[in-house]
Amino acid sequence: MNKQPIGFIDSGVGGLTVVIEALRQLPNENIIFLGDQARLPYGPRPASQVRAFTWQMVNFLLAKHIKMLVIACNTATAAALDDLRAKLSIPVVGVILPGSRAALRSTKNGHIGVIATEGTVKSDAYAKAIRSKDSRAKVTSMAQPKFVPVVESNEAHSAVAKKVVAEGLQPMKRLGIDTLVMGCTHYPLLRPLIQNVMGPNVTLIDSGAETVSEVSMLLDYFDLANTDNPNPLREYHTTGSASMFETIASDWMGQAIHADRVTISDLPTDVVTSLPTTVVVASKNAGKVREIAVMFDKLGVAVKSLADFPELPSVQETGATFEENARLKADGYAQALELPVLADDSGLQVDALDGMPGVFSARYAGKGHNDAANNAKLISELSEVPADQRHAHFVSVLALARPGKPDEDLVVRGQVDGMIVGIPQGDNGFGYDPYFYLPAFGKTMAQMTPDEKNQVSHRGDALRKLEARWDGWFKG
Ligand SMILES: O=P(O)(O)OP(=O)(O)OP(=O)(O)OC[C@H]1O[C@@H](n2cnc3c(O)ncnc32)[C@H](O)[C@@H]1O
Ligand SMILES: [Mg+2]
């Protein structure tokens, strides 16, 4: 379960058609909406400018820690979806593909009409998406530049709207289409008028509603759904007039809506780096990566490990302390990958062995070392030491590094105390776990479930310290 909000953006109020559907289909989700009414309409603008505006809105939402982004705007989807997907690691959902799929499901004669803004029509995004699924489909697209201004000036129910819609759709009527995609999230507000002009034999496709079905599926797929939320968050922001937004939104959503104004100059111009959406755990030890991923999963941050970057040269662990090695690994990989990197350097310190194996824990057995060989050496070194004098400590030092800032790592240390037993017990965990006995729990670390281990272990201890500080460190 993930309690972070889902972010929705649109050029204006039109994207609320998607939000309304989200409220219906996903009532437990926290929702933040931003409409860029001050710079509306997006339709006639060059794609590069739409992309730049879209990024500003996205940055605003990233700073609010969204777990998924919905581009509730066809023009912005056509201009920016690929770019956003390439650079963000939260799932990004656009409106064009879901709308295209629905149109293909609906059409019987294979001729689909699309009405959209100039930008969307020019991009040919619907025709491309529809034909990529069915190359025989015939798609006729037409720009309707007057529809968005009618909706945004709260005229959707007026005689003006009726005239604009009737005139705009005349050429569409003669084509023999049986399905019409409302390829702009503003258009569903004009739905009765559009249906009236097109007649009962043409099925209207509301891309927004289809989009929410896709959102719902992705929430399940990425295990991001919020299943228990008695007081869901509903936040509405506009770069234009809050009262105008409130009037249209309240009328349309059938309830009083409160909106906040965000001035354009307050929209971040750079990609927000306050909290990353992906962290690379710089470890080749799968056991460690599994334990660390638990915390980031909870924070909604995607985790990659060195296994995802097989070409990367290894950083040598030449330090004399856990901290030195953790920093070497975190900094080395962060500079190479240009991503935030978390490294763990950890090990076992046995009092009777003067703190050995310590930083040599992974390679204690020397050449050809592995867990079994390391454990065998440990037991042989301790063969003369009585059971009640085998005090030992697991230590984990975590270093979090950002590219370009090697001197500013966030470093935390966790520890757990126990005893080394002569007979291994338990199959969980990794490394020295079957020999590390915790008297207070009456079992070894390898007899604990992953959850239990995380609650008592050196790494769990360090991760909790990291979690408490990492937000401030990133923003600082
Ligand atoms: O350096 P990376 O790639 O992260 O993986 P590694 O296994 O080499 O990791 P270290 O250099 O930090 O060495 C830590 C060793 O200490 C041991 N160790 C650390 N944490 C442990 C844990 O939670 N349970 C059991 N053994 C652990 C284990 O043998 C590890 O290989
Ligand atoms: Mg190592």
432 is in an annotated binding site: yes
Whether the CB of 429 sits within 6 Å of ligand 1: yes
**For residue range 144-203, what is the model confidence (pLDDT) as tens digits?**
999 999 998 899 999 999 999 999 999 999 999 999 999 999 999 999 999 999 999 999
In terms of C-beta density within 10 A (0-12 exposed, 13-18 middle, 19 or more buried), how is residue 302 classed? middle
**Could you give the C-alpha distances from 111 to 108, 116, 177, 276, 413, in angstroms and in order?**
8, 16, 5, 44, 64
345 is catalytic: yes
Give the nearest ligand 1 atom to 374 CA.
29
C-alpha of residue 283 to centroid of ligand 1, in Å: 9
172 belongs to a structural domain: yes
Please report, for the domain that includes residue 196, its CATH number. Answer: 3.40.50.1860
344 is catalytic: no
Judgement on whether residues 255 and 312 belong to the same structural domain of the protein: no
Judgement on whether residues 252 and 302 belong to the same structural domain of the protein: no
| Ligand (nearest to CA of 345) | 1
Judgement on whether residues 417 and 320 belong to the same structural domain of the protein: yes
Q: What is the pLDDT of residue 430?
A: 97
Average pLDDT over residues 370-379: 97
227 is in an annotated binding site: no
Judgement on whether residues 146 and 283 belong to the same structural domain of the protein: no
Q: What is the pLDDT of residue 269?
A: 67
343 belongs to a structural domain: yes
Q: What is the pLDDT of residue 277?
A: 67
Residue 276 has pLDDT above 90, yes or no: no
Of 216-225, 267-276, 357-366, 433-442, where does mean pLDDT reach its minimum?
267-276
Judgement on whether residues 252 and 288 belong to the same structural domain of the protein: no
C-alpha of residue 87 to centroid of ligand 1, in Å: 32
Kindly indicate the confidence band of residue 273, based on its pLDDT and cuts at 50, 70 and 90: very low
Q: Which residues pair with 30 in a beta bridge?
A: none
Per annotation, catalytic residue among 206, 331, 344, 345: 345
Tokens of 156: 């959707």
Whether this model's pTM surpasses 0.80:
no
How far is C-alpha 101 from the geometric centre of its chain's CA atoms? 24
463 belongs to a structural domain: yes
364 is in an annotated binding site: no
**Residue 228: how many CB atoms within 10 A of its CB?**
7
Judgement on whether residues 341 and 437 belong to the same structural domain of the protein: yes
1 belongs to a structural domain: no
Whether the CB of 347 sits within 6 Å of ligand 1: yes
Judgement on whether residues 252 and 119 belong to the same structural domain of the protein: no
Judgement on whether residues 17 and 101 belong to the same structural domain of the protein: no
Judgement on whether residues 406 and 357 belong to the same structural domain of the protein: yes
**For residue range 428-475, what is the model confidence (pLDDT) as tens digits?**
999 999 999 999 999 999 999 999 999 999 999 999 999 889 878 876
**Number of domains comprising the chain:** 3
Judgement on whether residues 315 and 228 belong to the same structural domain of the protein: no
286 is in an annotated binding site: yes
Report the C-alpha gap between 440 and 456 in whole angstroms.
11
Judgement on whether residues 359 and 410 belong to the same structural domain of the protein: yes
Whether the CB of 285 sits within 6 Å of ligand 1: yes
Please report, for the domain that includes residue 464, its CATH number. Answer: 3.90.950.10
Judgement on whether residues 159 and 54 belong to the same structural domain of the protein: no
Whether the CB of 208 sits within 6 Å of ligand 1: no
Pocket test for ligand 1, best of 361, 377, 437 (most atoms within 8 A of CB): 361
Domain that holds residue 448: 278-475
| ipTM for this prediction | 0.99
Report the C-alpha gap between 336 and 275 in whole angstroms.
20
